[in-house]
Structure 1
Amino acid sequence: MYDVAIIGAGSMGMAAGYYLAKENQRVVLIDAFDPPHSEGSHHGETRLIRHAYGEGESYVPMAVRAQELWDELDRQVDEQLFYSTGVLNIGNKQSDFVKNVIESAKTYELNLEVLTADEVNQRWEGFQLDDHLMGCFEPDSGVLMSERCIRAYRDLAFDAGAEFKFSEHVQKLEARDDEVTITLSNETIQAKKLIITAGKGTNQVLQHLNEQLPLNPTRKTFSWFQADEELYHRDYFPGWAYDVDGKTFYGFPSVENQGVKLGRHDGGHALEDVMNLASFGHYDDDLVDVTSQVERIFKERMSHDEGKVCTYTNTPDGHFIIDELPDYMNIYVACGFSGHGFKFSSVVGEILMQLTLYGDTEFNIKPFRLGRFNDGRGLKQRE
């Protein structure tokens, strides 16, 4: 009998597995693939971490704690997991995104520089922002090496005693108040408690309990562009987020000489089949959106080098789900991270550990409770 089983060993699940194993819990992590892998939301090598959060002030304490945990993880492994490039938040003065960044920095006394477009263009010669734009620079933020982070948590979880069941699909799931039973292809696992962090596959797992959450898997893309290393290398150029005219983009300097990386945060194409992602280039906007953005904000013209596809698992309001599954006293779900969750995976892992062991957490997760949706229980109405 395990203390805790975790279904979905990607960003959040692997972190939770480590923090639980570190607390001497007997933990088993189950995944349909072999993490890190390209079937979830953690591949593509890099992710931004921002602290003055344009998506809302409620995220800031979690972002600050996440950074502490990433720095701690970075010190425990031989590979570099975090590059302190700084992050520039770009928008116009009327942008709610920019206003939230500035207000959250004031509220939590974060290090933030508010710059005009001209000041941005002078500091980083690679930019050519239009005059009506402004930038909010977070010098303490930067770039996480996402797949390395997953591997680091995996290695440390294993060293702490966690067990893995990878390349395994859940065939059956049964739950009672004091026990869950998970049937895999060749064995049955029993645990006192269950955490479901299965990303786009969450509802596939929950269908075994006749439950569904309001999740909308969406096909997304990101691209790399060949760039002048003297302008766009991580030593000289920041990460950035750009919110203008109803469109939101994000990007990275050239990390380890791989070129500038860019993606669009909003938009995308709804997925009918979460296991079938159309390859890059299938839709015209895969390349058009990011190419137009490169031409709009960068001084240098860049040629497209490579594009990849990934998945966002969106909630109706774009905010996370972290909660106990209604009607179950020993099942927790963390999902619907809506394309901005990876930076928080370290602290979400810690939160899931706290919820599982103590039934509560030091962080305010009220905005992420399921009760905010539909019928008050947090679940879609079942047919």
Structure 2
Amino acid sequence: MHDLNFRDQTFDTLIVGAGSVGMAAGYYLSKAGNKVLLLDADDPPHANGSHHGGTRLIRHAYGEGAAYVPLALRAQQLWLDLEQEAGAKIFERTGIVNIGPQGASFMQEVQRSASEYKLPVEFLDGAEASRRWPAWRLSKEQLVSFEPDAGVLYCEEAVRSYRHLASTLGATLRTNTVITGIEVHGEGSVSVVTNKGERFRGQDLIVCAGKWSPALLQSFGTRIPVTRVRKTFAWFDVAPNLFEPGSFPGFAVASDRGQFYGFPSLDGAGLKVGRHDGGQPVAADASLVPFGQEPTDLSDLEDFLREYLPASGKLRMGKTCEYDVTPDEHFIIDQLPVCPHVYLATGFSGHGFKFASAIGEALAERITQGASRLDISAFSLGRFGGQA
């Protein structure tokens, strides 16, 4: 991306946090002719945020709420567009199964989403699903949905592609740059100050800095109800021909053991599995304890696999990651009431990456057009009451 010199310090939009949402917003703003500066404390894509780990699922019939479906469908289209524009592999159509007890709220929302938006989703009982995908050991009482058009996103490649395309459109990126202050100049502009003693001014500011967002916005008198949570995921050996794409879709499971997700063995990497709920709250500036040093890191995953996917094998490798979680586990995407030209996108609670393309586009549209094509009012900060 472009380098800065002393005289080139003013931009249309400043973006603090150039991860998944930030990099997507930077691209769509640049595409609209906006002069953009992205600032990140690391060098994206990197392992110190919520976008690392190689892969993410993208589902359309959404068990977390039908309100997400338009966002998911728009995001899917934008990921496919990104593939074409960047000439990179972003999406793998593996299909996805959602699994849960009959009557579970998660599965009811999947059914509602599929019905309301006429999505191509097939519903089976657990016995039928086990016959179709022999790796699974499920009971007839379980409900399984299969969405053939869903699949896997290569998240780090997506961030890298947005970075490259934004650069070609003139966006500027400052890596390894920490923001030490935000200053508002009336209603017309805002500045950020860096740990290198630099000051950059813009007409608008987007803060999508994950775990650092609450601290960055403290000076506005706005409390952002987001908790950083340590999470883990791991890869396991697989039996031949049972876990490859084509014979084993990605999955999301609601069970009495917790909520789990996983991926087929992509390029021989093994079965990737994680637990979505649970985890350990940690301070924003704390180091994450390595995988295996918490008692449940491995046992949660092995217990789940033993019950549901008994043909899986031994642990290959485990990693830590982090979620930035809101009290209701839904996102925060909003303008600050006290300063409407400061935008906030945070609290993605471990299920936000799949939507990053559409959220980035929505933020860009709000800034350049005054409104976004998608209704994102459900993600307002004000729903928490007294936070703004």
TM range (shorter): over 0.9
Q: Which residue of 1 aligns with 2:26?
A: 17
TM-score by length of 1: 0.96
Alignment of 1:249-328 (within 5 A): 249-328=260-339
Identity %: 43
Q: Of the candidates 42, 50, 64, which is equivalent to residue 51 of structure 2?
A: 42
CA–CA distance in structure 2, aligned partners of residues 275 and 233 of structure 1: 37
Q: Of the candidates 256, 274, 282, which is equivalent to residue 245 of structure 1?
A: 256
Pairing 1:357–2:368 present: yes
Alignment of 1:66-215 (within 5 A): 66-176=75-185, 177-184=187-194, 185-215=196-226
CA–CA distance in structure 1, aligned partners of residues 347 and 283 of structure 2: 16
Residue 334 of structure 2: SS of its match in structure 1?
Answer: strand
CA–CA distance in structure 2, aligned partners of residues 358 and 324 of structure 1: 14
Q: State the Cα distance separating 1:208 from its structure 2 match.
A: 4.4
Greater displacement, 346-355 / 208-217:
208-217
Residue 173 of structure 1: SS of its match in structure 2?
Answer: strand
Residue 252 of structure 2: SS of its match in structure 1?
Answer: strand
The gaps in structure 2 that reach 5 residues or longer are 1-9
Asked if structure 1 preserves the Cα contact closer than 8 Å seen for 2:191 and 2:199, the reply is: yes
Q: State the Cα distance separating 1:210 from its structure 2 match.
A: 4.5
State the Cα deviation string for residues 96-136 of structure 1 (Å, max 9, x = none): 10011011101000000001111111111111112321210
Q: State the Cα distance separating 1:363 from its structure 2 match.
A: 1.4
Q: State the Cα distance separating 1:188 from its structure 2 match.
A: 1.3
Pairing 1:29–2:38 present: yes
CA–CA distance in structure 1, aligned partners of residues 285 and 240 of structure 2: 37
Q: State the Cα distance separating 1:290 from its structure 2 match.
A: 0.7
Greater displacement, 83-92 / 268-277:
268-277
Residue 217 of structure 2: SS of its match in structure 1?
Answer: helix
CA–CA distance in structure 2, aligned partners of residues 330 and 164 of structure 1: 21
1:25 maps to a residue whose letter is N
The gaps in structure 1 that reach 5 residues or longer are none
Q: State the Cα distance separating 1:313 from its structure 2 match.
A: 0.4
CA–CA distance in structure 2, aligned partners of residues 85 and 227 of structure 1: 17
Asked if structure 2 preserves the Cα contact closer than 8 Å seen for 1:17 and 1:349, the reply is: yes
Q: State the Cα distance separating 1:361 from its structure 2 match.
A: 1.4
CA RMSD in angstroms, aligned pairs only: 1.2
Pairing 1:53–2:62 present: yes
Q: Which residue of 1 aligns with 2:5?
A: none
Asked if structure 2 preserves the Cα contact closer than 8 Å seen for 1:229 and 1:254, the reply is: no
CA–CA distance in structure 1, aligned partners of residues 339 and 372 of structure 2: 18
**CA pair 294-284 structure 1, distance change in 2 beyond 3 A:** same
Greater displacement, 2-11 / 298-307:
298-307
1:118 maps to a residue whose letter is A
CA–CA distance in structure 1, aligned partners of residues 89 and 143 of structure 2: 31
Asked if structure 2 preserves the Cα contact closer than 8 Å seen for 1:229 and 1:257, the reply is: no
CA–CA distance in structure 1, aligned partners of residues 159 and 146 of structure 2: 28
Residue 94 of structure 1: SS of its match in structure 2?
Answer: coil
Q: State the Cα distance separating 1:209 from its structure 2 match.
A: 3.8
**CA pair 273-198 structure 1, distance change in 2 beyond 3 A:** closer
CA–CA distance in structure 2, aligned partners of residues 36 and 160 of structure 1: 19
Residue 362 of structure 2: SS of its match in structure 1?
Answer: helix
Q: Which residue of 1 aligns with 2:7?
A: none
Residue 47 of structure 1: SS of its match in structure 2?
Answer: strand
State the Cα deviation string for residues 20-46 of structure 1 (Å, max 9, x = none): 000110000000000000111110000
**CA pair 135-281 structure 1, distance change in 2 beyond 3 A:** same
Q: Which residue of 2 aligns with 1:221?
A: 232
Asked if structure 1 preserves the Cα contact closer than 8 Å seen for 2:271 and 2:312, the reply is: no
Residue 266 of structure 2: SS of its match in structure 1?
Answer: coil
CA–CA distance in structure 2, aligned partners of residues 286 and 331 of structure 1: 38
Residue 12 of structure 2: SS of its match in structure 1?
Answer: strand
Pairing 1:7–2:16 present: yes
Asked if structure 1 preserves the Cα contact closer than 8 Å seen for 2:333 and 2:346, the reply is: yes
Residue 39 of structure 2: SS of its match in structure 1?
Answer: strand
1:361 maps to a residue whose letter is S
2:12 maps to a residue whose letter is D
Q: State the Cα distance separating 1:236 from its structure 2 match.
A: 2.0
**CA pair 169-208 structure 1, distance change in 2 beyond 3 A:** farther
CA–CA distance in structure 2, aligned partners of residues 186 and 136 of structure 1: 54
